[in-house]
Amino acid sequence: MRFALSLVIIFASCLPVCADGLADAIKPFIDSHKGQVAVAVKNLATGESWSHNADNVMQTASLIKLAVMIEAYRQADSKTLDLGKTVTLTKDDKVQGSGILTSHFSDGASFPVRDAVRLMMVYSDNTATNLVLDQVGIKNVNATMAKLGFPETRINAKVFKGSTTSVDPERTKKYSLGSTTANDMVKLLELLHTETAASPESCKAMLGHMKACTDKDTVMRFLPAGTVVAHKGGATNQVRTNAAIVYVPDAAVKKKTVPVAVCVLTNENADQRWVIDNTGQVAIAKIGKAVYDHFSKK
């Protein structure tokens, strides 16, 4: 009997602290969205959390670039990659979609790998992503994610080069560029926050790139001006995603913030418009505001 009671106590202590009020705030946005939705939220200071379909494996679009960045910095920490190494842009490197390299840089432009990582995270630059993948290796990204405990967080190929660079054709067909779960992303954000995803210096640098992200149309959209957010998102016709650490004002201590990790994945969206009011983007924005309001009033 005493042994059974001990097991119950241990099990209870392992359960997340549930943010009950958060469910009431977020569920209407999930229920009204025409598409698949997964959400995970965790206050990284208190452990308070809430989730919905957070272990469902879903498409990431460019959100998977977060895993690529982590691999690059871990390789730099282990001295297997020099972030100061110069890479040279060629015509064959250039791919379509988000970013600035393809449209604004000339063939033959040279810059450090570190700058390619910045472009990948700040502008979600697809060409920069492929340049980084040339240095770190697609399979190495996936191996590291598995080692960290995230086997479903995988990148399948270079961006817009799935037919020639895929390391897993079946997953490429099913998930396109990459896959993850909302829980995986929140846990990765927590590893960055606790400076255990890589060295402390590397984690600080990575969060710096994410704080400079130029996407203001999703998780940051309805937040008060000046709110600090470290985030990365992704978008394809049927997909809108975002994973973020939102630094919410601490109601108890002025000029102090509380880090709250949130990931919203939307797949198979009915609204495939490339407009600011795309319903997937709006859902992410509204969930981000609900998270901010819940924790700022604590």
CA 231 to chain centre: 6
> How many domains, the chain?
2
Shared domain check, 220 and 171: no
The first and second tokens of residue 2, run together, are 């005493």
Please identify, among 164, 180, 196, the residue that sits at the C-terminal boundary of a domain.
180
Shared domain check, 203 and 247: yes
Where residue 124 sits, what CATH number does that domain have? 3.40.710.10
**Distance in angstroms (rounded) separating the CA atoms of residues 43 and 150:** 20
CA distance from start to end of the chain:
39
Shared domain check, 255 and 159: no
Shared domain check, 70 and 109: yes
pLDDT for 3-37, tens place per residue?
A: 343 333 333 333 345 566 899 999 999 999 999 99
Shared domain check, 165 and 256: no
Shared domain check, 173 and 237: no
Q: Domain limits at 105?
A: 60-180
Mean predicted confidence (pLDDT) in 114-136: 98
Please identify, among 180, 201, 233, the residue that sits at the C-terminal boundary of a domain.
180
Shared domain check, 185 and 47: yes
Shared domain check, 69 and 36: no
Give residue 251's pLDDT. 73
Shared domain check, 145 and 252: no
41 within some domain: yes
* Closest residue by Cα to residue 157 from 149, 146, 168, 148: 168
User: pLDDT exceeding 90 applies to what percent of the chain?
Assistant: 90
Contact 162, 186 (CB under 8 A): no
pTM score of the predicted model: 0.93
